[in-house]
Amino acid sequence: MRFKLTFPKELADKPVFSEAILRFHKPFNIIEADVDAEKGIIVASVDLSESDLKDFIRFFEERGVRVELLAKLLEVDLERCISCGACVSLCPVEAITIAKDWSVVFDEERCVACGLCVNACPTHALKLSIR
């Protein structure tokens, strides 16, 4: 499960994320983080059961953290994508590949939302949904 946590200013210096790791005993993969004195935003993933997911959301919301579940990190506008491949060689985790029919294939599970592909796309067919 991928999620975006938005911490208000008053929680920016509190160890809420660390508390969640200890509470749920699960490894969290931080995909992106932007934390300063005004706010904190963390995009991460963790493997949770359905019941743990409800507890997870409640845990953060009770502490004043906004939780957004992310179905996709990368949005692809197939109307604009011309399968030029400009994004393929830049992807550091090989989440974007070229199929046998020369079309570009996006593997959402591998994506780490680095944004390199978005900047490389000449038709602006790619957009990160976390920003």
How confident is the prediction for the chain on average, in pLDDT?
A: 88
Residues of the chain by 3-state class (helix, strand, coil), percent to 5: 25, 25, 50
Res 38: pLDDT: 80
pLDDT tens for 9-66 read 888 778 898 999 999 998 888 888 888 878 888 888 888 888 888 999 999 999 999 9
| Domain definitions of the chain by residue range | 2-70, 74-131
* Distance from C-alpha of 18 to C-alpha of 96, rounded to nearest angstrom: 32
Global pTM value: 0.68
* pLDDT of amino acid 123: 95
Q: What is the CATH number of domain 74-131?
A: 3.30.70.20
Q: For residue 130, what pLDDT is reported?
A: 66
Cα separation, 45 vs 31, in Å, equals 7
Strand partners, 75: 127
pLDDT at position 71 is 76
Cα–Cα distance list, 107 to 6, 37, 73, 99 (Å): 26, 35, 10, 12
pLDDT per residue as tens digits for the range 62-108: 999 999 988 777 888 989 999 999 999 999 989 999 999 998 898 88
Establish whether domains 2-70 and 74-131 are of one fold. Answer: yes
Domain 2-70 has CATH 3.30.70.260: yes
Residue 60's pLDDT is 94
